[in-house]
Amino acid sequence: MELIKVKIRFTSYLKSELGIKELVLQLPLESTLNDLVKELRKIIPAFKYNVKNPEYLVLLDRGSSKEIIRSNIKLSEGDIIEFIPPAVGG
C-alpha cells in the first residue's frame, strides 16, 4: 500500500488542550481530511473535531498556497494541515 506523509498542527488553545503542538502521520494514498480526523481520534482521544459540524477552521498548506478545506478534499504528500479554533477573549 502506498502511503503519504502529512504534518498536523494544532494552534491556540488546542495545543494546550490536546498536549501536542504538531505531529506527522502516514496515511494511505487518496486519504481525505475525514480519514485524517478518524486517525487522529484513534491516537488522540481528546480530539473532538466533527467534520459534519466543524467548530474550527482547517487550513491546508501546500507550500505555494493555503486554503480552508472541507472533509472530502484529498490530501497529498507533504501537506500541512492546521486546526484553528475560533478566537476567544474580549
Domain ranges, ordered by start, for the chain: 3-30+40-77
pLDDT reading at 61 higher than 90: yes
pLDDT at 88: 65
| pLDDT band at 90; cut points 50, 70, 90 | low
Residue that the C-alpha cell 486519504 belongs to = 31
Across the chain, mean pLDDT equals 91
Coil, strand, or helix at residue 84?
strand
